Amino acid sequence: MAAHDTAHQPNAQGVIHYQPEEHGTWQRLITRQQAALSGKGCDEYQAGLARLALPTDHIPQLAEINRVLQGCTGWSVAAVPALISFDRFFALLANRQFPVATFIRRRDQLDYLQEPDIFHEVFGHCAMLTNPEFAHFTHLYGQLGLRASKEERVLLARLYWFTVEFGLINTADGLKIYGGGILSSIGETAYALSGAPQLQPFDLLEVLRTPYRIDIMQPIYFVLPNFTSLYQLSEAQIMAALAQAQRLGLHPPRFAPAPDQQAS
């Protein structure tokens, strides 16, 4: 059975019932990832995680997440299956709702799962949505994506990938992680700060022209100077950069092509 086939539907009271084995998987994932992230997650993420106060012995209910997010930034989460359409994805973000898949990976998928599960979405992403600057950027991104053409959405996907999913940030205490794809991955957490990948200062045009693959360790990360630089990105700036990136085209990939997919 595919992972997304195990997505759970909330009952009439909005409660999702999980099996003991699923709670056990959450406990194993969150315990080891909290240990792996020691000293590596940015302060904004750590502060958000403290606000969420995620349980370690069971999967949290979405209403618990919503109470924190709404109080911090006016955001909430929306229960979805693992994969949703781009239209649905952008519409949710534009409405300050973050999509959260309601299944959790199997025990044999602890280290890697291509589809986003509830651990990735909640542990990896929701803490950053307590930060007003980051939440503002994510909302703007959703608004832009909702109005974008199919071609523009391909480029916008790279902006999301290299920030929300796989972003790093410079701090007074050194390089830190803020991207949810790293924060929720045991392997990527170790790799991202290992010195192996190439690091580049965040540059909007470069991000939009850089291809990526979803099934490998990232060969390149873009490093923010601060979250204000994301907050200050305007619709006009992003749309102008999209147009320029379309004219200039993609950089050559820094990886071999996947057997069954093209570079994004």
Q: Which residues are annotated as catalytic?
A: 120, 125, 165, 184
Give the H/E segment covering residue 77: strand 76-80
Q: Other C-beta atoms within 10 Å of 205: how many?
A: 13
Burial of 179 (0-12, 13-18, 19+ CB in 10 A): buried
Q: Max alpha carbon distance in the chain (Å)?
A: 53
Cβ-based neighbours of 211, under 8 Å, separated by 6 or more: 158, 250, 251, 253, 263, 264
Residue 115 annotated as lining a ligand binding site: no
Amino acid at 37: L
CA–CA separation, 115 and 2 (whole Å) = 10
Is residue 263 within 8 Å of 257, Cβ to Cβ? Answer: yes
Residue 235 annotated as lining a ligand binding site: no
What 49-53 contacts at long range (C-beta under 8 Å, 24+ apart), as own/partner pairs, is 49/123, 49/127, 51/127, 51/130, 52/122, 52/126, 52/127, 52/130
Question: Per the structure block, which two tokens stand in for 36?
Answer: 């792996």
Residue 8 annotated as lining a ligand binding site: no
Please state the residue numbers annotated as binding site: 120, 125, 165
Please state the residue numbers annotated as binding site for Fe cation: 120, 125, 165
